[in-house]
Structure 1
Amino acid sequence: MSNNKNKPVNPVTDVILKTITNLKVNSPPLYSEVIKASNKYQQQSQLLSQAGVFLADTIARLTVHNQGDFGDGFKKLADTLRELETKRDEVVKVLLNEFITPCKQNIENDQKDIITFEKNYKKERDQMRQDIVKLEARTRKAGKKTTPEVLKQQITELNDKIKESEQLNSNRLRDVVLMERKKHSTFLSQFNQFLDKELELANDTNTKLSSFTQTSRDLINTQNQLPNDLEALISKQERTLVQIQPQSDNSDNYRISYAGGNGGGESYDSYADNYDYSYSDQTESYDNSGGSELQARALYDYDSGESTDLNLRAGDIITVVQQDDGSGWTKGRDSYGNEGIFPSTYIEYV
């Protein structure tokens, strides 16, 4: 017989060994790179989700100073974005828990499995080669010293062993290829769980944003319209000055009386129709001689880092210490005794 080194490599054996090498040497680094990329995607998605929540919270603050239809619109936008970011956070968790973490474990397990498979296959293959070599030697010997019947028996045994060897290679080729395909299938199955969540997010995003887009268009189309309550207020007749009369107590106080527009008609009871003004040295001022202090209600929050300013919270009742002198600022005192200045437009007198 010729030397084994000169024998052609069995094509089945060659495919088995190449597949083993691919699973043992080539695949792990590539899968590890996929995991690294997935980790980066997961981290960036987390940051994006956090930024989205911050954006939603910032938009929600627009509702503090904006009521009515646009206030409702801002709230709906903020709620929509917040819901979508909650969904995005779920997607990120699925990527980590259902793909990245198990995929790392699979790489380690697959490495152990393929090393065990290679060890067992080489052991079986080597044993089969030794058996064939022994049978070949017996067959050559039988051809020289035994009867044709014995030679025929040896040849039959040799052929059976060769067939057994071929069957072994076929079985192991099937095993290793299925092992490789299972590895890839597991990878795709785990990644699909992430993709399913991504698709769910995409569909939810499309539905919610489409709904809000229509709300936005409806609001945009009302930009030249006033809300119904303001329209009703403006449509009322304007008050008309009727007369200025001195008070009956012979003081310097005067009463200004108003009546309905167009020269008469009903008076506006909803307004403070009578105003008292005190004059001293030709300078207009409010008469607080009774000892009562002027009160105002904060309309908006006002936060300032200046020590001279008074922070406000919408709804707070403020005692006015010094009215606006034309600078746009009023000085007041809150219920805790803190004094400071604040924008005059942030309050209404009560």
Structure 2
Amino acid sequence: MSGNAKKQQNPVIEITLKTINNLKVNSPPLYSEIIRAANKYQQQSQALSQAGIVLADTISRLTIHNQGEFGDGFKKLADSIRELELKRDEVAKVLLNEFITPNKQAIENDQKDIATFEKNYKKDRDTMRQDILKLEAKTRKAGKKTTPEVLKQQITELNDKIKESEQLNSNKLRDVTLMERKKQATFLSQFNQFLDKEIELSNETITKFSGGLQLFRDLINTQNQLPGDLEALISKQERTLVQIQPHTDTSGDNYRISYAPGRAQNTDTYETYDSYDNYDYGEDQSYAESYDYGGSSDATGELQARALYDYDSSEPTDLCLRAGEMITVIQQDDGSGWTKGRSYDGNEGIFPSSYIEYC
């Protein structure tokens, strides 16, 4: 009989105890694992964001040596990456502040709450069980020694207490189920804040790079074209051609060197040009000594140049420039696009050749 009673467990009590056990024993380890995984994801997201910002800063250095449309393209690419990585860092902080930290605290609080709930539930059930047992005993006694009216009253009290016990179990099942659902809903609500930021990041990524991609494609398609201003400069550039003609005067043979602006129409012979600047050199002056290479020298014989633009660089081999300052040229451009010079304060380094003009 007692064995059958154990098997016929009240389903309400059974589900209540099972839910309590799940909240007390099974849930915390799983939630702790989720938090550890989220914490690792958050740390790696922040590391990725920092690496992305370094990438953006490195790409932006391309603008130092590249002007015009490609320089603008590099700047747009670097700015887009930097903005998105700052957004990624913001998303990682939301994951930490709105999900990881609250859930760490929630695990501890939930454990206390469910332990308190279980303790009170067991206490109320035990009290109720004792009351029912006492009423059962009184009812059995009333059935033997009292009048039918007293027995009926005792049976009514017993039934009322049994109904109260059933109501207690139902209320406790409702309370513990809602407790479990609230925990799960809070978990999803906190994680949704992170997901909302992730979706926002994804949308911004698509928006920024969708617009930029067309710009980058357009630039890629111009790789075999010259910029309009440079094309115009090249097409209008008039070469300076040189004629060296024998010239005899009273002092002996000499050479006359003529500079002629214009295009050569024939590569074998020189044509007639609109004007000539004729330079006659004495016999004690050589052509090499008389030719102007484009640049004046100071008292030490070093070439002087003026910076046309600011040039900032963190490279130890580079020389930073400020527009208008005078630079002493130590080594002229060898075709690499770079010139070596020395500033007025004695610093030496290289800089883009196009950033200066010779005085």
- Shorter-chain TM range is 0.7 to 0.9
Q: Which moved more, 1:26-35 or 1:283-292?
A: 283-292
* Corresponding position of 1:164: 164
- Quote the Cα distance in structure 2 between the aligned partners of 1:323 and 1:333: 12
Residue 319 of structure 1 contacts residue 332 of structure 1 at CA under 8 Å; is this kept in 2? yes
SS of the counterpart of 2:153? helix
- Quote the Cα distance in structure 1 between the aligned partners of 2:192 and 2:17: 31
**2:305 equivalent to 1:296:** yes
**2:223 equivalent to 1:223:** yes
**2:344 equivalent to 1:335:** yes
1:156-191 Cα offsets, whole Å, 9 max, x none, are: 111111111001000000000000000000000000
Distance 1:124 1:304, change over 3 A: closer
* Corresponding position of 1:319: 328
* Corresponding position of 1:45: 45
Q: Which moved more, 1:107-116 or 1:254-263?
A: 254-263
Give the Å deviation of 1:302.
Answer: 7.5
Give the Å deviation of 1:196.
Answer: 0.4
Give the Å deviation of 1:318.
Answer: 2.6
Residue 323 of structure 1 contacts residue 331 of structure 1 at CA under 8 Å; is this kept in 2? yes
- Quote the Cα distance in structure 1 between the aligned partners of 2:113 and 2:278: 95
Distance 1:290 1:154, change over 3 A: closer
Give the Å deviation of 1:154.
Answer: 1.2
1:245-299 Cα offsets, whole Å, 9 max, x none, are: 79x9x9x99754122225567679xxxx899999989783578798464213578
Give the Å deviation of 1:317.
Answer: 3.6
* Corresponding position of 1:205: 205
* Corresponding position of 1:233: 233
Distance 1:330 1:86, change over 3 A: closer
SS of the counterpart of 1:64? helix
1:109-168 Cα offsets, whole Å, 9 max, x none, are: 111111111111111000000000001111111111122222111111111111110010
Residue 260 of structure 1 contacts residue 267 of structure 1 at CA under 8 Å; is this kept in 2? no
> In structure 1, what residue type is equivalent to 2:262?
G
Distance 1:290 1:85, change over 3 A: closer
SS of the counterpart of 2:346? coil
From 237, 259, 269, the counterpart of 2:261: 259
SS of the counterpart of 1:238? coil
Give the Å deviation of 1:331.
Answer: 6.6
> In structure 2, what residue type is equivalent to 1:258?
A
SS of the counterpart of 1:258? strand
Q: Which moved more, 1:273-282 or 1:253-262?
A: 273-282
- Quote the Cα distance in structure 1 between the aligned partners of 2:190 and 2:89: 18
* Corresponding position of 1:191: 191
> In structure 2, what residue type is equivalent to 1:312?
L
* Corresponding position of 2:268: none
Residue 94 of structure 1 contacts residue 193 of structure 1 at CA under 8 Å; is this kept in 2? yes
- Quote the Cα distance in structure 2 between the aligned partners of 1:74 and 1:112: 56
Distance 1:128 1:343, change over 3 A: closer
Give the Å deviation of 1:6.
Answer: 4.0
Residue 242 of structure 1 contacts residue 259 of structure 1 at CA under 8 Å; is this kept in 2? no
- Quote the Cα distance in structure 1 between the aligned partners of 2:184 and 2:298: 89
Q: How does 1:112-127 map to 2 (within 5 A)?
A: 112-127=112-127
- RMSD of aligned Cα (Å): 3.7
- Quote the Cα distance in structure 1 between the aligned partners of 2:115 and 2:313: 70
- Quote the Cα distance in structure 2 between the aligned partners of 1:279 and 1:210: 70
- Quote the Cα distance in structure 2 between the aligned partners of 1:146 and 1:87: 83
> In structure 1, what residue type is equivalent to 2:65?
H
Give the Å deviation of 1:55.
Answer: 0.7
* Corresponding position of 1:78: 78
Which blocks of at least 5 consecutive residues in structure 2 are unaligned? 266-270
SS of the counterpart of 1:81? helix
- Quote the Cα distance in structure 2 between the aligned partners of 1:277 and 1:254: 7
Residue 139 of structure 2 contacts residue 151 of structure 2 at CA under 8 Å; is this kept in 1? yes
Identity across matched positions, percent: 70
- Quote the Cα distance in structure 1 between the aligned partners of 2:219 and 2:18: 66
- Quote the Cα distance in structure 2 between the aligned partners of 1:333 and 1:225: 36
Give the Å deviation of 1:51.
Answer: 0.7
* Corresponding position of 1:134: 134
Give the Å deviation of 1:244.
Answer: 4.5
Distance 1:218 1:175, change over 3 A: same
